[in-house]
Amino acid sequence: MLLGASLVGVLLFSKLVLKLPWIQVGFSLLFLYLGSGGWRFVRIFVKTIRRDIFGGLVLLKVKVKVRRYLREQRTVPILFASTVQRHPDKTALIFEGTDTRWTFRQLDDYSSSVANFLKARGLASGDVAALFMENRNEFVGLWLGMAKLGVEAALINTNLRRDALRHCLTTSQARVLVFGSEMAPAISEIQASLDPSLSLFCSGPWEPSTVPAGMEHLDPLLEDAPKHLPSRPNKGFTDKLFYIYTSGTTGLPKAAIVVHSRYYRMAALVYYGFRMRPDDIVYDCLPLYHSAGNIVGMGQCLLHGMTVVIRKKFSASRFWDDCIKYNCTIVQYIGELCRYLLNQPPREAEHQHRVRMALGNGLRQSIWTDFSSRFHIPQVAEFYGATECNCSLGNFDSQVGACGFNSRILSFVYPIRLVRVNEDTMELIRGPNGVCLPCQPGEPGQLVGRIIQQDPLRRFDGYLNQGASNKKIAKDVFQKGDQAYLTGDVLVMDELGYLYFRDRTGDTFRWKGENVSTTEVEGTLSRLLDMADVAVYGVEVPGTEGRAGMAAVASPAGNCDLEHFAQLLEKELPLYARPIFLRFLPELHKTGTFKLQKTELRKEGFDPAVVKDLLFYLDARKGRYVPLDQEAYTRIQAGEEKL
What's the pLDDT tens digit per position in 451-504? 999 999 999 999 999 999 999 999 999 999 999 999 988 899 999 999 998 776
Is residue 469 within 8 Å of 476, Cβ to Cβ?
A: no
Is residue 383 one of the residues assigned to a domain?
Answer: no
SS3 for 462?
A: coil
- Domain of 453, CATH number, reads 2.30.38.10
pLDDT at 16 over 80: no
Same domain, 29 and 119: no
pLDDT at 427: 87
- Give the number of other Cβ atoms within 10 Å of residue 436's Cβ: 24
Q: Which of 487, 504, 521 is the last residue before a domain boundary?
A: 504
Tell me the pLDDT band of 505, cut-offs 50, 70 and 90. Answer: low
Is residue 369 within 8 Å of 358, Cβ to Cβ?
A: no
In this prediction, what percent of the chain has a pLDDT beyond 70? 91
Interacting residues of 572 by C-beta distance below 8 A, sequence separation 6+: 161, 162, 163, 524, 528
In this prediction, what percent of the chain has a pLDDT beyond 90? 69
Helix crossing, 518-528 with 562-572: angle to 10°? 130
- Domain of 587, CATH number, reads 3.30.300.30
Is residue 245 within 8 Å of 171, Cβ to Cβ?
A: no
Is residue 477 within 8 Å of 484, Cβ to Cβ?
A: yes
48-62, 96-110, 551-565: segment of lowest average pLDDT? 551-565
Same domain, 471 and 487: yes
CA distance 68 to 81: 17
Helix, strand and coil content of the chain, in percent to the nearest 5, comes to 40, 25, 40
pLDDT at 249: 38
Closest to 601 (Cα-Cα) out of 614, 611, 616, 591: 611
Tens-place pLDDT, residues 264-319: 999 999 999 999 999 999 999 999 999 999 999 999 999 999 999 999 999 999 99
Q: Which of 51, 68, 85 is the last residue before a domain boundary?
A: 68
pLDDT at 206: 85
Is residue 59 one of the residues assigned to a domain?
Answer: yes
Q: DSSP labels for 343-404?
A: TSPP-GGGGT----EEEEE---HHHHHHHHHHTT-SEEEEEE--TT-S--EE-TT--TT-SE
Same domain, 115 and 173: yes
Q: Which of 294, 313, 332 is the last residue before a domain boundary?
A: 313
Same domain, 79 and 30: no
Same domain, 548 and 579: yes
Same domain, 110 and 42: no
pLDDT at 260 over 90: yes
CA distance 563 to 543: 27
Highest mean pLDDT among 39-43, 586-590, 605-609: 605-609
Same domain, 163 and 275: yes
Backbone angle region of 162, left / alpha / beta, with phi > 0 → left and psi within -120 to 50 → alpha: left
Same domain, 52 and 147: no
pLDDT at 595: 55
Same domain, 426 and 303: no
Same domain, 448 and 571: no
Tell me the pLDDT band of 40, cut-offs 50, 70 and 90. Answer: confident
CA distance 16 to 6: 15
pLDDT at 516: 82
Report the amino acid identity of residue 300.
Q
Q: What is the mean pLDDT of residues 101-127?
A: 98
- Domain of 200, CATH number, reads 3.40.50.980
Judged on CB neighbours under 10 Å (0-12, 13-18, 19+), 234 is exposed
pLDDT at 171: 94
Q: What is the mean pLDDT of residues 61-68?
A: 97
What is the domain count for the chain? Answer: 4
pLDDT at 592 over 50: no
Same domain, 487 and 513: no
Structural domain including 2 reads: 1-68
pLDDT at 591: 45
CA distance 306 to 287: 18
Is residue 358 one of the residues assigned to a domain?
Answer: no
Is residue 559 one of the residues assigned to a domain?
Answer: yes
What is the arrangement of strands in the sheet containing 330-334, beginning at the earlier edge strand? 100-103, 91-95, 307-310, 281-284, 330-334, 357-361, 379-384, 393-394
Tens-place pLDDT, residues 222-253: 999 999 999 999 999 999 999 999 754 346 88
User: What average pLDDT does the structure give for the chain?
Assistant: 89
Q: What secondary structure letter does DSSP report for 249? A: T
Is residue 400 one of the residues assigned to a domain?
Answer: no
Is residue 578 one of the residues assigned to a domain?
Answer: yes
Judged on CB neighbours under 10 Å (0-12, 13-18, 19+), 467 is exposed
Is residue 347 one of the residues assigned to a domain?
Answer: no
Is residue 585 within 8 Å of 558, Cβ to Cβ?
A: no
pTM to 2 decimals?
0.82
Same domain, 521 and 485: no
Is residue 371 one of the residues assigned to a domain?
Answer: no
